[in-house]
A and B are shown apart, each in its own frame.
Chain A
Amino acid sequence: MNTEYIGIIFMYLATVALAIPLGKYIAKVFKGEHTWLDFMAPVERFIFKIAGIDPNREMNWKQHLKALLTINVIWLFYAFFCLLFQSHLPLNPDGNPSQSPDLAFNTALSFVTNTNLQDYSGESLATYFTQHFVFMFLHFVSAATGLAAMMVVFKAMKDKITDKLGNFWDFFLKSITRVLLPISFVVAVILAFNGTPTSYKGKAVVIGLQGDTVHVSRGPVAAMVAIKQVGSNGGGWFGVNSAHPLENPNYLTNIVEDISIILIPIALVFALGYYLNKRKLAWVVFGVMTIGFLAMLYPSVNAEVGGNPAIAHMGISQPGGSMEGKEVRFGAAASAFWGITTTVTSNGSVNSMHDSMMPVSGMAQMFDMMINAFYGGVGVGFLNFYIFIIIAVFISGLMVGRTPEFMGRKIEAREMKIASLIALLHPFVILVGTAISTYVLVHFANAAWATKPSAWLNNPGFHGFSEMLYQYASSAANNGSGYAGLTANNIFWNVSTGLVIFISRFLPIIGPVAIAGILANKKFVPESAGTLKTDTGTFGVMVLAVIVIVAALSFFPALTLGPIAEHFSIK
């Protein structure tokens, strides 16, 4: 058991050790300074030339958003039609069928938005073509979309009174060629050498040692798994994601894949410090995020390593902790660690079945997604945190009687309205979604639908409620992990979570970019004795308080009905 604890401590420390230099590197890339990957420059120039894009044309925040939304809409249609007709497209050695319209709708939205909620199972409802040309392609570009949006905000914070916030295509392409692609390449090679398949061959048929015939799904898995971890995507090749022994073959790959989940999200916090030359601010942000992360990690690891009390009552031993839904090669501690890392970021890949985890873990994971800013997804995690900063600046300004200013700009009613709207949108869609599904379940349990609502849940009682709450929290956080027991591949869930995913992706990008753009246009007020300092521990505490008050309290009643009640009911 000790080696299990050492394993997770190592993973965290190694991540931070890698994230600091990576953050410095990312800041350099976007400042346009020289880096060792400058050999990609001709490739970028070539791509821009063919696409007819001038990467030096400065854009204002509205033009950035227009570019972002236009290309995202194109991807949405592209993905939808590929999935709808995948059985007629090439690279389908296993002869898998096309997706139904509602499933294709959900899947396309889910991957375009970096969510990767998977109502399908990769072995049976995707083809090698859609896995690569739709899913893996979207893994890259959706993560790059988040990074580019974040860069607009960074740029707006840096420069004095400006309308020129860089070029969207430039941010976007460099995110891929300088950050996502090189890291994914390294990760994919490590996976390949540890047993993750890379070839395009279809299923293998083997007669086992005991004489049973086994069909083994495989495919060019390694390339996709790498970017699904690195880009906080989470949509894996196989139905059970990184619990699958080909997708995540051993403890080393588990370390690499888990580090990949939080590496860029943490690095971006440091990138902020280097980019703005405000390293103290970066450490304050990192501190607040880390406190939130550890506060969720500790109880979850404890609960999983401690085992299921209901099974302990049967008189057997649980030396490895609670093992339902977990793999022996990872153990309980690394499974709990993954569960927290994947939910604090908007990754959503899993290496164990969250549905079978202890209620304390379930609560921690849902809470992570309800906050969605303790590290957060690639790019968008910081955007969410930015909203909390704006609110904290405004409230603390009012408390101490100083003008609320952030980065030398006054925060006024208009920005606060946008920030509040975005902050409240998240609880709104999660709670309303859960309320509607619960209502339908209770009052239309036997409605004559293809999947009767009474057949939705895989578990009774409080845990069943958690399955629905988790699904909407995951959709709204663009996370994509699930309580997989929920029967989600039907019109009700495909459509309702699809809509939640869509709203919760683009409004929280538009909001912060708009605020930053508006602020960048305001008069720059140099720091004075009257300025509220934002790079101090006190302000960190203030941000944490805002997060707890705004987010945590709105979700507490719902959590009480689900995991908290379940926790106290297990004897």
Chain B
Amino acid sequence: MSLTTTKRAGSLKTGVGPLHFANKGNSYKSALPLLPFFAFIAYFLVFPLTFIVRDAFLDNDGKFTFENFAECFKGVYGHSFFVSIQLSFISAAIGAVVGALIASAIVKTGSRFRKATAASASVLANTGGVPLAFMFLAGFGTEGLVTRALKFLGWNIYGGTFTLFSSAGIILVYSFFQIPLMVLIFSPALENVRPEWREASDSLGGTRLTYFRRVMVPLLFPAFISTALLLFANSFSAYATARAMTAGTLPLMPLLIGNLVDGNVIANQQHLGQAMAVCMIGVSIIVMSIYVLVLRFSKVKR
């Protein structure tokens, strides 16, 4: 699922040989077989996107305005930017660090165990959503087995201000798909680490710490950061789990947009939801551009 192109892609000599479609002379003609794909993308992806952007700039009478965006940064909507970004940041940081730790332990196990954990991780990372939310309500609710067990061990998690419906609760639940996602994407990078490097470092007199600091960190840092950014984008746009858990009460951007669309909230501006959606895309674009830059930087270094 990692997004880097494989090294072997493109090493195939393309466009040579007796292939009738390998028309190198006319670049537009060579796109002809891709027409179905481009048409599909244009209609089902580009077309809806242009509508969100257009609507975001329209007032209730259909005239051009910036009012929707001004409203976006006020009151609960402005606050939701802060809450959403903060929550995604913490969730990505926890997921990345814990996920990397678990991944580094998993790559040292046998291949069957690795396959089994990869399969389980892909289930948790992809099909989470609503079922995950209910599982957590069951486990960590006031009557849940986990809560009781922790209480038995002397830790009443409800002793403080903790509830499952707060930011802390959501971060805990998100860990359930963030950590597996990290394991899934970060493992291939770890598998490329060769035992010989450790031996080389040892024979040059390096300690475990030197090996970690001088070899592992520089080598894995780009993969680590880029995956962490992916985790950020993932929790930033997560909607199903948060909706099922909090019934839309926490001021998260996706939840507010959902409320606006469902008509649960009456806003002065009809197109406030679209403006919020455009803002979310904006935040995502910033994060993903950093991702692309990190990947490019890592390729230059190799």
Task: Specify whether A and B are partners.
Answer: no
